[in-house]
Structure 1
């Protein structure tokens, strides 16, 4: 039979339950752990990750074995530790290398910089990924997200117009007021060929 895939947190919980302190009820006793799961016990502390596993998955993990789901190149992750500027930032894994640090088999390089271990990152949510992609799109033109300028060409989805002025809202030529979230950039003013001064 094939081993089941579990998260790092689930693997740590299983390991703690079976190989943890000798006074723990489940120590070296997978039958007792499975029995607790069958009784729908609510686990807490270092065993909390077991609550998200089905009894079938736990049984297979205990008696057949398990593999830890790992990150791969191209995965979007969020940095969960540290106090530097990267904390809570969404980044992409660009390289995975063997780690020589005790307790870590691999080290992940994010955005071709920095080195992080699997316990320092988590998978990014779809919303976090989309927000980071949007931030990167705007950064390519040297702006913050939704930083529009007079002269930018934007679309409402059905109509495309240049921005005439910016006050509390964007004023579009012949269309009136729109919020930043109601329009999408088509062409920044700096890249408009019709705005180039001929010398």
Structure 2
């Protein structure tokens, strides 16, 4: 905790002062460019990864970068998506998985989650991805398949995202665009799903004109 306290003091003395004018603008409202849905894993910093400033990303984080399919039940992720799309009017939604994901390890070995029943239930939203990968490996799923499962999970959550009415409306009108990313912690690389090739490709290939 001492490191966190020192960090706050350092921010107030240096970080805030450096962006004082930006925070003055942000004090009365926000206009983020994108909704960034990613894992709660402490090794991921969306602003650092995208080299973005405060106010540019509306960030939603949870274990496994999960988007539950739309239902009548209200949840934090569902409410955040609705607010970002319908109120803030974000033009892009990114679902970003990552390497060495603990949630994906839990999906592979569900018995390890018996002592954390809420986590186990939450990861039930990854069932489609799990079964897809298992079917490709004769019903066998091990940690050697974690990269494949991570990619399948991002795509599965993207499909769930399409079921949300606020998103479906904006997609139909061409007012929002969806992106599926996987971030490699060790090498800093980001791979992006390409619908044309049906595979994840390097970031620079996915966005060649950026």
Give TM-score, length-normalised by structure 1. Answer: 0.19
Q: Which is higher, the Rg of structure 1 or of structure 2? A: 1
The structure with more helix, counted as a fraction of residues: 2
Kindly indicate which of the two structures has a greater share of residues assigned to strand: 1
Higher relative contact order (CA 8 A, sep 6+): 2
With normalisation by structure 2, the TM-score equals 0.19
